[in-house]
């Protein structure tokens, strides 16, 4: 997986001064098959990426500048792995057009670099076809401002798609009396519960149930380090996937 007897891939990190960015620099430096050739912070000119001869750039900046960054990279034939949020169909459209004229250049836009979260979502959609009941419990540190998490919403949507594909109706639920809302939120027909607990980071449990049986998926992120295997996978694979890919699952072998 990490061949060391070949010439290392030359990688730049944009947003290197941020928390995710500095973690990414560290991960690239530690990988024997990659070479960190440029750390670009807010004040640095993008030209340094080209001057350093980067083949792949990781963009971990902010929504306000990411689209401009990626356009600049594609113009210079540099592959881009993008973890910055804020991309919409509106900002993706011109990028698609630009990539049509940039043969061989690959761009990955990944809203979530945690491989486990990507696996959980895909497996949840598949398992959903086979179970009468499904619920989602997400658990985070108590400083989180919104509930439920975006990942839990996406997982509920994936379960909904799986159920629809299998022709399943609503989940069984005889609750008549729930004065305080213990049954939680309902997203795409799926009940979603949010726990907030000191000491936790980001966790998700997906539970499926059928007669005499339960099936569970669980993903725990204890640390920002958990995103790095996904970043490195993107860096290594982006050149082999020309054009635009949205979602890390496009690079994963989930069959």
CB of 75 to a second copy, least distance (A): 33
Among 221, 234, 236, 238, contact with a second copy (rule: CB under 8 A): 221
Smaller CB separation from a second copy, 93 or 165: 165
Q: Is 144 in the site for a second copy (CB under 8 A)?
A: yes
Residue 31: count other Cβ atoms within 10 Å of its Cβ.
19
Per the annotation, the verdict on 154 as an active-site residue is no
Candidate list 48, 79, 144, 203, residue with the active-site label = 144
**Listed ranges 33-41, 48-56, 104-112, 208-216: which one lies at the site for a second copy (CB under 8 A):** 208-216
Distance (Å, whole) CA 237 – CA 175 = 48
Q: Is 155 in the site for a second copy (CB under 8 A)?
A: no
Per the annotation, the verdict on 48 as an active-site residue is no
Sign of the C-alpha dihedral computed for residues 236, 78, 84 and 246 taken in this order: negative
Residues of this chain, 58-117, that bind a second copy according to CB under 8 A? 114-116
Smaller CB separation from a second copy, 43 or 177: 177
Among 18, 189, 229, 250, contact with a second copy (rule: CB under 8 A): 229
Candidate list 48, 79, 140, 193, residue with the active-site label = 140
Pairing label, strands 56-59, 133-140: unpaired
Residues of this chain, 108-137, that bind a second copy according to CB under 8 A? 114-116, 119-120, 123, 126-127, 129-133, 135, 137
**Listed ranges 37-45, 59-67, 196-204, 237-245: which one lies at the site for a second copy (CB under 8 A):** 196-204
13 Cβ neighbours under 8 A, 6+ residues apart: 21, 24, 25, 28, 36, 38, 39, 40, 57, 58, 60
Tokens matching residue 79:
């592959």
Smaller CB separation from a second copy, 78 or 236: 236
CB of 126 to a second copy, least distance (A): 6
Distance (Å, whole) CA 144 – CA 238 = 32
Q: How far, CA to CA in Å, does 96 sit from each of 136, 177, 243?
A: 34, 51, 7
Residues of this chain, 165-194, that bind a second copy according to CB under 8 A? 165-168, 171-187, 191-194
The residues annotated as belonging to the active site are 140, 144
């Amino acid at each position: 997986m990490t061949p060391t007897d070949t010439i290392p891939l030359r990688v730049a990190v944009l947003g290197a001064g941020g928390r995710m960015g500095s973690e990414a620099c560290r991960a690239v430096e530690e990988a024997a098959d990659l070479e960190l050739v440029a750390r670009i912070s807010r004040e640095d000119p993008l030209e340094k990426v080209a001057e350093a001869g980067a083949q792949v750039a990781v963009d971990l900046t902010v929504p306000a500048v990411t689209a401009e960054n990626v356009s600049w990279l594609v113009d210079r034939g540099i592959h881009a792995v993008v973890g910055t949020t804020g991309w919409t169909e509106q900002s993706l459209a011109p990028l698609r057009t630009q990539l049509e004229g940039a043969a061989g250049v690959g761009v990955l836009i990944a809203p979530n670099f945690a491989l486990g979260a990507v696996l959980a979502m895909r497996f949840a959609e598949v398992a959903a076809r086979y179970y009468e009941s499904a619920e989602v419990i997400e658990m985070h540190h108590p400083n989180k401002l919104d509930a439920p998490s975006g990942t839990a919403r996406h997982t509920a949507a994936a379960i909904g798609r799986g159920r629809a594909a299998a022709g399943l109706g609503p989940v069984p639920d005889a609750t008549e009396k729930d004065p305080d809302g213990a049954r939680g939120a309902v997203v795409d027909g799926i009940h979603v519960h949010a726990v907030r607990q000191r000491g936790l980071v980001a966790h998700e449990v997906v539970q499926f149930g059928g007669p005499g049986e339960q099936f569970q998926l669980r993903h725990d992120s204890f640390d920002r380090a958990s995103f790095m295997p996904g970043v490195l996978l993107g860096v290594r694979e982006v050149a082999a996937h020309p054009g635009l890919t949205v979602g890390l699952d496009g690079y994963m072998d989930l069959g």
